[in-house]
Amino acid sequence: MGAITVIEAHATTGGNATSTIAAGFIPDAATAAPVCTKTIAGCEVMLAPDCNGTCGAKQFCTFDQGCTATCKPICDATCSDTEECYFPTPTTSACRQRQSFDAGTLTLSGTTTPVTLFPPYSFKGIDSGSLFNDGAELAVTATGAGAGAGYLGFTESFTATHVFRTEPSLDKLGISDIFGAGDVPIRWTAGQDDITVTATVIAVSGKAGTLTCKGDDTTGKFDLPRQAIKAVLATGDTLGSLTVAVTRNKVHSIYDLSTTGTVPDGDVQAVGWLDLATSSTETTSFAGCSNDQQVCDNACVDVSTNAHCGSCGNACASGDSCATDTCSGPAACNACFNTVSTGNGVCASAYAACTNDADCTVLKTCLAACTDATCQQTCVTAHPNSVTLYNMGPNCICSSGCPTECSAACQQ
């Protein structure tokens, strides 16, 4: 299996493109490392292996071919630059001479800058523009693996994709589009190739994950599902930042290329396939609100203020103030008292206990008529056995019913 991809990437805000070339060949496609995902709202969410701390000191957690998390030994032999680490036995690591599987020297033509690559095909790329023009005819010539293992020589041509641009550009989306409750709208001029939307999700807690979705280029639109974004986040976590990359990809596949040679511990198939591809990617990142802010009317708002106390639009009444995301003061205390002291409120039974007792009811009426401390003491002296029953209601308000809303009154 082989793949040669000419890649163009640019920011949503414009500027120079960055171009790279990725080239790689493996002797047996069946040995490729598994990609383990779960499907959420039509998107593939990348899974991370979790061995629940069962791996030993010289083991690491990874997926097997069936996407089951398993502990595997670390190959820790000290090898030179021309060697690779391997396991001659299941528990012993050693070094052996590295044998490549490639297609020899690769020369790309039709690109804006001719490129020649040598195994192992390290290409740092350019940051001044794209290596291909819209729909350009490109060609790649390989000298072949020669005496080594890999593909025999070939010359193949392929057609480049068209540079991808969102319209309107993603950076014009509002913060509520990205961090709100709905799907994230992505729009572009329709084409005829393949569209892949990749989102990197970082939670406020620091947890990160990636999801990948397929779009239809001919429709010119895709709505990134909020459900898939939330699937990356832990329960109760919130979205901290989001990076969205939209890629238009065009692939030309060849299935009848000949191979040669042998490699250790692997099968070289007699006939291989090769993907020749070009891709254009637009990327943009969105930073969320800080920890003490929320998205309100497409803006980050401090929700510890009197205008937005604990949530968007939750304004405190005149004379009240916001404390620990809750309005506190006369109006908030009265409203909370009316709620918790009646019906099924948490303090309803405490107040009912006094109401249902004749002597406590008399004490309550006596205290309500007082305007000074002397009067209050007279009421208490006259009904000493009902004081504890009477205080059950106020104590409930201050301890659990409305401790923040009535904090000023409870401190008196």
Q: Residue 265: pLDDT above 70?
A: no
How many angstroms from the chain centroid is the CA of residue 130?
A: 29
0.85 exceeded by the pTM?
A: no
| pLDDT for the residue numbered 227 | 94
Please report the pLDDT score of residue 236 as a whole number.
78
Indicate whether 298 pLDDT > 90.
no
Q: What is the pLDDT of residue 263?
A: 79
Please provide the average confidence, as pLDDT, over all residues in the chain.
91
206-236 pLDDT, tens digit each:
889 999 999 999 999 999 999 999 998 887 7
Whole-number Å distance between alpha carbons of 184 and 177? 6
363 vs 395: CA distance, rounded Å: 16
The yes-or-no verdict on residue 32 having pLDDT over 80 is no
pLDDT in tens, 84-109: 898 999 889 999 887 788 999 999 99
pLDDT, average across residues 362-388? 94
pLDDT of 352 reads 94
Q: Is the pLDDT of residue 175 over 70?
A: yes
Task: Give, for 274, the enclosing helix (H) or strand (E).
Answer: strand 271-287
Euclidean distance between CA atoms 242 and 176, whole angstroms: 13
Instruction: Determine the pLDDT at residue 43.
Output: 95
* Beta-carbon count within 10 A of 303 CB: 20
